[in-house]
Structure 1
């Protein structure tokens, strides 16, 4: 494998070649890492740093949440015809120079998170004895889960069509901190590495994660400042915005669902882990997570935070919502009242459902200065008790997985019906008696779009299901899915997997 040599180190070696003492000098980066990982707090800080990295504009703070990947799924309109790069992106022209730079930066930033957690994982076992309580298991478990999470989105975005992945080497699964180019592995091996990391994370956190002992209300600081939190160590708080034990189960359900495209037998595991999350109860017997409902919408919790299984904390989310989706925001959707044969919101949310569907009511409103477009309010914040987090995994996805994995019509209707009851979706007669599986598929596709709009999942859903055109009721001409659209080219130049 080709070694990538730092020009700084090379220059130092040449400059002091007459003196052997330079060989005894400890590299600054190594010294810094040794210092960081000499205490439990250092490991905690490094893990927090990895979560912060995930909020990069190139990944879950933009491009992989509500930005580029939503243009790739045609969820946003390109408002300006002069915006060549966005038009190229929306039309899957990935050879455009600007588009390539966007996609390459996303690839690189996903692997930067991987490098950060690998720095933790390469040292934590040797330092196991210094950890207090369950912190060794929690930190290692979350690090493994983060490594799997970021690798999985590398696979979903830059990997092959899951229904025909081929046998050859595709992508590197990086499990060490190194300057060397990592040899790519094939689809099956890459997927197995993801599952192995998740299996290990599940085992580490099953009996140690506070979310298995306390309710979320107990783990989150109380609104009354005179009431002390149940847990004194703030490292244990807000487990629903970390890759906690149940987030690992939910991610396993998502991964197995993706892999079921190649092997339908994986649906058994997808349903198993999704059901474990749905069935999760706290010590008082109450569900740990629940589906968002009308009362949440009325209270101003448009993000339906009760169903967040994992999320990222974003302190300025209200400002982002205003600048991104607001009156003058860069992301917009065309007027849903215009019946022009395209896939607009009038097709996504049929008129008959608008009076009850909580994903519709007050979520989409006209712009005042440009009423040809509407604004999306999911990320808007209420003044009291704002929800400053963006979801990575939702309970609603677990219900959709259970619906899709059900072998029979009755079981599928039971899972989907429970979901519809909370979301305000009319479902009085079940799936169509003739061709119910096709009806289920169309409804599943539509729900992934409606439920996870601006959360980066539409493109991955279309790719997993190899959606060529949208259902006829959405007007298929608006969107054309092909392998050329779904298989995003990875960078021409290999990246450095070292983390200083």
Structure 2
């Protein structure tokens, strides 16, 4: 089993029997006591939390390219008989199947939280079983996962960030119990997220190998730079820079609560952009044309944190491929398409690596997206990853939070040059409004099928698409952004 666990950690290739073991669901006190007697036991539970995140109702589907992308109307519904899908696209959340989809997402986010809560409830008392910096690594990652999943629960099921009240929004769960957890206010919930991230940052700062070594070094099995294989492949863990990137994302969401959060978001985004290893080389870089030409479509060099999914090729083919249902019905007209011509105007997309070879006709009017259908033969760490946090987002956050037109354009130009986007200055008569419209479009173009478009629309309370798009294509009232929580009480355990 030790050999199998090492294989999972390194390559995320696991058998059914091993997955059942690692998808940890403590059945009682005695089971937990056995798991938490050793460093290996804590690691196994943490690995189980990452595995659970790959589930279809969260980051292996609905919170990545599935339902959350339908909410943004990034996909069409070619099957008119699928009434529930049509209702989801139309923002009708009264359908029972739609409710069940949302409930499954809600419950599984909290199951991941329960997995890491088991760790966090026991780890301080068992600190003596850890060697090296493993106590800090395991606890720091667990805290980050707890914050990450709570924050996505807030983005999905919480109020519009521009219209909060003093009422309770969601429970911030820190214990494994079947007792009822009362919802916290929006402000207290946000404080809890940031408190977990502050502690995680302090824990990981001096021990995470990603601060010392390059991604290439940490991904190499030929000449490992760390003695413990568990500490390799830091891109597929909640590493130190993932904490900083998540803080940037959270602070941006909280700008309506306090405008000072804009400076915090910019600061943490810049810390990730400027990150270097011990040799002075940047830890992450923006994806460029050579990455696209190599068919590394998710731009793995940008991945700050990702999930390693051994069967991603099968999932991608069944979801996006010729037999998959994720597509656009985009009428071909002359030099391009209908909606996509607005998202990627023909005059702007000639060199844009988010457009080139990323879309292909599937049928006479159906267009399929190729981001996750990647070239065979590339290293697994390039093609078998689902990105959770990417460097592009840090550039967009920096652009959006810059206090002057000059500063914002400086960051945006650097981003555009790498992506092959023609740069145009922000309109001098209303540069902040023009920046807003450009950033909304960039989030959709950059993170298509990565679950970020709907949350961008929600953050801005978008009612119609900005000028230059197909304005009537997306129309939303505030109610569209109020996703219903489960009708029934759920168990905040991992059973």
- If the TM-score is normalised by the length of the shorter chain, which range does it land in? over 0.9
The residue correspondences of 1:270-419 to structure 2 (distance < 5 A) are 270-335=265-330, 337-338=332-333, 344-367=339-362, 370-386=363-379, 387-419=383-415
Q: 1:249, 1:335 → 2: CA distance?
A: 38
C-alpha displacement of 1:423: 0.2
- In the alignment, does 2:458 pair up with 1:459? no
What is the RMSD computed on CA atoms of the aligned residues?
Answer: 1.3
CA contact (8 A) 1:366 1:373 kept: yes
How far 1:262 sits from its partner (Å)? Answer: 2.6
**Mapping of 1:72-151 within 5 angstroms?**
72-151=71-150
Superposition TM-score, scaled by structure 2 size: 0.92
- How far is 1:471 from its partner? 1.3
Unaligned runs of 5+ in 1: 1-26
Residue 39 in 1 paired to residue 38 in 2?
yes
The offset of 1:28, in angstroms, is: 5.8
Q: Structure 1 CA distance, aligned partners of 2:212 and 2:326?
A: 41
Deviation of 1:343 after TM superposition, in Å, equals 6.6
Number of residue pairs aligned between Structure 1 and Structure 2 = 465
**Local SS of the residue matching 2:244:** helix
Q: Deviations over 1:170-197 (max 9, x none)?
A: 1100011111000111000000000000
1:392 alignment partner, SS class: strand
What's the secondary structure of 2:160's corresponding residue? Answer: coil
Matched, 1:157 2:156: yes
Q: Deviation digits for residues 372-396 of structure 1, max 9, x if unmatched?
A: 1111111112121241000000000
- SS of 1:497's equivalent? coil
Q: Aligned-pair distance for 1:398?
A: 0.3
Please give the alpha-carbon distance, in whole angstroms, between the structure 1 residues aligned to 2:196 and 2:248.
14
**Given that residues 343 and 476 in structure 1 are in contact (C-alpha distance below 8 angstroms), is that contact kept between their aligned partners in structure 2?**
no
Q: Which runs of 5+ in 2 are unaligned?
A: 1-25
Query: Which has the larger Rg?
Result: 1
CA–CA distance in structure 2, aligned partners of residues 465 and 101 of structure 1: 27
Deviation at 1:371, TM superposition (A): 2.2
Tell me what 2:199 maps to: 200
TM-score by length of 1: 0.91
Q: State the secondary structure of the residue aligned to 1:182.
A: coil
Shift of 1:45: 0.4
Deviation (angstroms), 1:499 = 3.4
Matched residue, 2:443: 448
Contact 2:209–2:231 at 8 Å: present in 1 too?
yes
SS in 1 for 2:304: strand
Q: In 1, Cα distance between the equivalents of 2:64 and 2:97?
A: 19
Q: Deviations over 1:264-292 (max 9, x none)?
A: 21101000000000000011111000000
Measure, in 2, the Cα distance between the counterparts of 1:153 and 1:374. Answer: 29
Paired residue secondary structure (1:71): helix
Superposed CA deviations along residues 401-444 of structure 1, whole A, max 9, x for unmatched, are 000001111001001000000000001x4112221211111110
Give the match for residue 9 of structure 1.
none
Deviation string, structure 1 residues 53-106 (Cα, Å, up to 9, x no partner):
101110000000000000010000011122101001001111100000000010
Taking a change above 3 Å as real, the CA distance of residues 177 and 251 of structure 1, as seen in their structure-2 partners, is: same
Alignment partner of 1:179 is 2:181: no
Match of 1:244 among 239, 245, 248: 239
